[in-house]
Chains A and B, each alone.
Chain A
Amino acid sequence: MDLALSVTKRSGLNSRQIQDAAFRTATRLFAFGVLILLGGVVVALAAGARPAFEKFGWYFLVSDAWNPVKDNFGALPAIYGTIVTSAIAMLVGIPLAFGIAVFLTELCEPHLRRPIGTLIELLAAIPSIIYGIWGLFVVAPVLQHTVQPALIQILGPLPIIGALFAGPPFGLGMLTAGVILGFMVLPFIASVTRDVFLTVPPMLRESAYGVGATTSEVIRHIVLPYTRVGVIGGIMLGLGRALGETMAVTFVIGNAHRIKASLLAPGTTISATLANEFTEAVSDMYTASLFALGFILFVITFIVLAAAKLMLLRLDQRAAK
């Protein structure tokens, strides 16, 4: 590139230099634009949230009030719900994603790999609102009439775990939301895990098979340790999505600003609260509290996504060596 520039300089073709400089500046401008965009989002959220943080301070993060009558708001139920539903989503999604990645890399017929892989990736293309209505109309009734009563009967009487499964089976609630979320993030984790598994040098795998390891042993002792960082990166990517998911959760979580021990109870997440209440927050403090929730969500997802990105970067660097 520099050679080209010095050539044109010597021939004195100035218009070309100007054109090049203009083009380069334009692209750089837009690149900066992306930075400004993120900055703008943070600033807008922080500005909108300021009245709430000023009034409640750090207490906002641990208060479980949500009282529009008295203008007293706390983020705890929403944060709790976000974390619990995401945790359930991980518990559901990771094993499934894992199994799929193992299947696609070790067990599947070579010509079926692409089609099945594509089908799994199509799961990621389905819009979240579709997961939401599917969850509401198909999954929730099934949970309400079969799974949840069974859980209450079998696990309810147990000493500590019982508290997690108490209460009337609504069909809607934290558990349902977590399960739907799990289905939603499963394709992301599966894709990344599969891609990462494929980076293992065949030599390593063949050597293990050569000394008589079974497939599951190869995965456990060779593939996983090698791809550990990438797998965790993929999981955190899925977690980042689960934390921020709105529509799939809003339909099935039950919209209750309460913290209950039971997973079968209705709850709320930050994004579900925003979706339900933003256009209707009448008082300024209410709106500010909602912005504050948005800000908190942004911070949480930022941290998770940044960590994931760094991990995947390290894997790229290692693979490049």
Chain B
Amino acid sequence: MQARRLTTWLGALALIAASAAPAAADGEISGAGATFPYPIYAKWADAYKEKSGISMNYQSIGSGGGIKQITAKTVDFGASDMPLTADKLSKAGLVQFPAIMGGEVMAINLPGIAAGGITLDGQTIANIYLGKITSWDDPAIAKLNPGVKLPSLGIAVVHRSDGSGTTFIFTDYLCKVSPEWKEKVGEDTAVEWPVGLGGKGNEGVAALTNNTAGAIGYIEYAYALQNKLPYAKLVNKEGTALMPGSTSFQAAAANADWPKAPGFYLLLTDQPGKESWPITGASFILLHEVQDKPEIAKQVLDFFAWSYANGSKMAEELAYVPMPESVVKLVEASWSKIKDGGGKPVWTSR
């Protein structure tokens, strides 16, 4: 009687144990990090799986999470919109390369205002996020929007509650346009926000902005497009009020001098140029320089090589800016730095 019950327990446990496989299942690579590029990575992963059968499992938990998890080696690659300095890279034993570029927009939730219906500039946004401007009909906003009927609604500031590269790009921009912001708050993946609600991921900020009347939040452009959120025009460095989109993002990205950037560390905020979108940035992939799972690393790099070659159209559909051909060559050349335990590079270009 007891023996029978015992064997049933053991049998059940054995059955479950049988489904256990070695840590890397065949044909699966895992990454985690930035929510900024998540819509395009997810699209690439789907297409790549159809073509090669390999599942690229990406969890968008924020750039902070991506950096942490790749450092802890709990995922195969990390993704971060905040590039690590050459110093931090060598300390953590990581290499980084840019995968995609895109722009951030200020999503707005105001009754009667459509996309591009309102114009803001860097200084004003900084003051809103500092808590100095609290109502939509504030004179500073009215000055930028002659003729627009601004409601006397309280501004519900929305920011990120998690560690975010999108935040880094946004705060980097604010530091460049507002000395007060630079002094009081600074730039990082997570800062001490003076005011506002926190949302988790680009998704959370988009959802909160969508649900709260009078809200303003910074999100990657694809999120505004996919969720039909109205956004503001921004005044750039040259003084032009611009609509976000591929044109303005590409104009900003054209200024990027990738060959000169050590470890590909490059920031694209507040770029010169009449058409340049002020809050543009690249999103980076992080991998360990010395791989104890060289097969997996090769599969990761294969995925990105494929995405560079075949993913541009998908990227442009979501208004991301794919890496230009010349940069792709530089990046793939840099992959020779990723070696296995014996010093042999894990990836060779075919």
Contact = CB atoms under 8 A, between A and B. Distances in A.
Are A and B direct contacts in the complex by CB distance below 8 Å? yes
Contact of A276 (B153, B193, B200): B200
B186 to A, nearest CB: 5
Contacts, number: 85
Given A170-B156, A277-B162, A256 B68 contact: no
B190 A69 contact: yes
Given A168-B156, A281-B68, A282-B68, A256 B191 contact: no
B212 A171 contact: yes
Interface stretch (B58-66, B143-151, B257-265, B288-296): B58-66
Contacts of B193: 256-258
Given A68-B188, A266-B198, A276-B198, A170 B163 contact: no
Contacts of A68: 64, 163, 188-191
B325 interface: no
A170 B212 contact: yes
A141 B61 CA distance: 26
A280 interface: yes
Contacts of A256: 161, 193, 196-198
Contacts of A70: 186
A281 B191 contact: no
A297 B301 CA distance: 43
Interface string A62-80: 0001111110000000000
A171 B190 CA distance: 24
Interface in A244-296: 254-258, 266, 268, 276-277, 279-282
Interface residues of B, number: 34
Q: What range describes how many residues of A lie at the interface?
A: 20 to 34
Interface string B195-218: 111111000000010011110000
Interface of B: 61-62, 64-65, 67-69, 71, 153-156, 161-163, 186-193, 195-200, 208, 211-214
Interface of A: 65-70, 140-141, 144, 167-168, 170-172, 254-258, 266, 268, 276-277, 279-282
Given A68-B64, A266-B197, 18 more contacts: A144-B212, A167-B154, A168-B155, A170-B197, A255-B200, A256-B161, A256-B197, A257-B192, A257-B193, A258-B195, A266-B198, A276-B162, A277-B161, A279-B61, A280-B65, A280-B190, A281-B64, A282-B64
30 contacts: A67-B192, A68-B163, A68-B189, A68-B190, A68-B191, A69-B186, A69-B187, A69-B192, A70-B186, A141-B211, A144-B212, A144-B213, A168-B214, A170-B212, A172-B197, A254-B197, A255-B197, A256-B193, A256-B198, A257-B193, A258-B195, A266-B196, A266-B197, A277-B190, A279-B65, A280-B61, A280-B189, A281-B68, A282-B64, A282-B68
Kindly list the 4 A-B residue pairs having the minimum CB-CB distance in the complex, ordered from nearest: A255-B198, A168-B154, A255-B161, A280-B64
